[in-house]
């Protein structure tokens, strides 16, 4: 009797398994996933469109910054340091040329820093292009080999054109280092942080109201000051020139037709004297001043977005980005991501379903769950997910 009961139980379990397993195994992973949402960027710190709206309503840069950052001071701080900005990663071929009349490009062997006692290994007159290539473990230019080179250019009006991967950007200030790291060239621009670096920051349109520009300058300066210190050997830099840190485009920013000088003037207005400029500080130290384009109606904290608390981030109402007139592209948006990209985001073989598990008080997704066709699941933070699958913001919903 016991054997019969056990056998009956086994048969029932087997039957249930045979009924349920094929429904999972045979389920078809969708080719893509669709999303709806609002805002653009991670949502932490200062909303740039919010700053613009507040400037248009008459608020000062200080008032704007104090709204978005909690318990901070906008105060002068020493900013006479230089900053090392990575302007090209893992390149096999790069080139430099200057078309400025009377200019000269000087090439030094090694990373010579600020030393003026060393002699160049070569010079190039205006319009002569110098091309660097990787050969084994060295960089080579005009037959000269080295693990590192320093590039300088003469003349106060000289503009250097730098080309990598088909993209050309112009630089006017500082000097450039070319260093071989893991068989490719890391290229950095070292220049004065307080003005030369900030003149090249392209985060908001230069035509925006003066207070919004000044708020962006002060936030960008604070962020850069917070990143000074040890050189990251992977990029030979302290900051990257793109959104991993902040968008640096060199001379191209101040050379913008009509409005470029407005941005440069905003930088100048935030400089106090020969050694100090305005920054956002807590206990006398510059904060890592996060900023983004627009939110889904409220900003979020670093704890909400990334799981690590900072004393100066807070969640505040931020309605400007929801107005289609202010934010025509991202007041509301529709986006999609293909199966391969979503599966890669979760590091699973495929994704059968997505489920939003939680949101924070700002309305951003805090956790999203992916379930694979084999039944395995993983959780991702909302901002990690939006970054990996390349959708505009963590203020999203799953489209039906």
Sign of CA dihedral 140, 143, 144, 145: positive
Domain end among 193, 214, 230: 193
Is 351 part of any domain?
yes
Domain end among 193, 221, 237: 193
Q: CA geometry: angle at 169 spanning 166 and 173, to 5°?
A: 150
Domain match, 189 and 100 both = yes
Residue 191 is predicted with a pLDDT of 97
Domain match, 138 and 36 both = no
Strand ranges, E, within 92-204: 93-97, 104-109, 122-125, 130-135, 138-141, 144-146, 148-153, 160-164, 167-171, 175-181, 184-192
Domain end among 193, 218, 242: 193
Is 303 part of any domain?
yes
Residue 342 is predicted with a pLDDT of 98
**CB 151 within 8 Å of CB 176:** yes
Domain match, 316 and 382 both = yes
pTM of the full structure: 0.90
What span, in angstroms and rounded, lies between the C-alpha atoms of 267 and 217? Answer: 6
Is 268 part of any domain?
no
Number of domains in the chain: 2
Task: Name the strands in the sheet holding 167-171, side by side, starting at the edge strand that comes first in the sequence.
Answer: 144-146, 138-141, 130-135, 93-97, 160-164, 167-171
Domain match, 117 and 38 both = no
Domain match, 189 and 117 both = yes
**CB 38 within 8 Å of CB 330:** yes
Report the phi/psi class of residue 390: left, alpha or beta, with left for phi > 0 and alpha for psi in -120 to 50. Answer: left
Domain match, 124 and 41 both = no
Is 277 part of any domain?
no
What SS3 state is found at 366? Answer: strand
Residue 113 is predicted with a pLDDT of 87
Domain match, 34 and 130 both = no
Domain match, 294 and 399 both = yes
Domain span at residue 96 reads 82-193
Is 341 part of any domain?
yes
What tens-digit pLDDT sequence spans the chain (400 residues)? 333 333 343 334 333 333 333 444 557 999 999 999 999 999 999 999 999 999 999 999 999 999 999 999 999 999 999 999 999 999 999 999 998 998 999 999 999 988 888 999 999 999 999 999 999 999 999 999 999 999 999 987 899 999 999 999 999 999 999 999 999 999 999 999 999 999 999 999 999 999 999 999 999 999 999 999 889 999 999 999 998 999 999 999 999 999 999 999 999 999 999 999 999 999 999 999 999 999 999 999 999 999 999 999 999 999 999 999 999 999 999 999 999 999 999 999 999 999 999 999 999 999 999 999 999 999 999 999 999 999 999 999 999 7
Is 357 part of any domain?
yes
Is 399 part of any domain?
yes
Is 282 part of any domain?
no
**CB 154 within 8 Å of CB 104:** yes
Residue 195 is predicted with a pLDDT of 97
């Amino acid at each position: 009797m016991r054997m019969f009961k056990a056998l009956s139980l086994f048969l029932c379990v087997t039957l249930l398994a045979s009924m349920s397993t094929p429904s999972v195994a045979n389920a078809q992973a969708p080719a893509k996933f669709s999303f709806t949402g609002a805002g653009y960027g991670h949502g932490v710190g200062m909303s740039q469109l919010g700053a613009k709206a507040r400037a248009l309503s008459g608020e000062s840069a200080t008032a704007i910054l104090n709204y978005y950052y909690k318990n901070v001071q906008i105060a002068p701080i020493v900013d006479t340091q230089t900053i090392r900005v990575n302007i090209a990663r893992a390149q096999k071929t790069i080139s430099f040329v200057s078309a400025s009349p009377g200019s000269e490009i000087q090439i030094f062997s090694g990373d010579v820093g600020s030393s003026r006692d060393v002699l160049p290994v070569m010079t190039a007159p205006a319009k002569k292009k110098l091309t660097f290539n990787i050969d084994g473990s060295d960089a080579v230019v005009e037959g000269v080999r080295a693990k590192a080179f320093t590039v300088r250019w003469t003349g106060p009006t000289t503009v250097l054109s730098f080309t990598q991967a088909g993209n050309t950007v112009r630089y006017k200030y500082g000097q450039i280092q070319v260093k071989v790291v893991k068989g490719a060239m890391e290229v950095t621009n070292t220049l004065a942080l307080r003005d030369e670096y900030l003149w090249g920051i392209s985060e908001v349109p230069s035509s925006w109201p003066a207070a919004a520009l000044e708020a962006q300058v002060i936030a960008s300066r604070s962020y850069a000051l917070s990143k000074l210190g040890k050189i990251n050997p992977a990029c030979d830099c302290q900051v990257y020139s793109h959104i991993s840190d902040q968008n640096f485009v060199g001379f191209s920013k101040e050379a913008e037709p009509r409005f470029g000088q407005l941005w440069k003037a905003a930088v100048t207005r935030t400089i106090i004297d020969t050694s100090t400029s305005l920054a956002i500080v807590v206990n006398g130290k510059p904060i890592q001043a996060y900023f983004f384009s627009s939110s889904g109606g409220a900003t979020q904290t670093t704890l909400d977005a990334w799981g690590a608390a900072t004393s100066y981030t807070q969640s505040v109402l931020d309605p400007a980005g929801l107005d289609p007139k202010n934010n025509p592209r991202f007041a509301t948006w529709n986006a999609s991501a293909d199966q391969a990209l979503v599966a890669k985001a979760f590091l699973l073989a495929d994704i059968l379903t997505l489920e939003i598990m939680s949101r924070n008080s700002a309305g951003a997704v805090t956790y999203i769950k992916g379930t694979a066709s084999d039944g395995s699941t993983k959780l991702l933070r909302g901002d990690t997910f939006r970054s990996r699958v390349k959708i505009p913001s963590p203020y999203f919903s799953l489209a039906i």
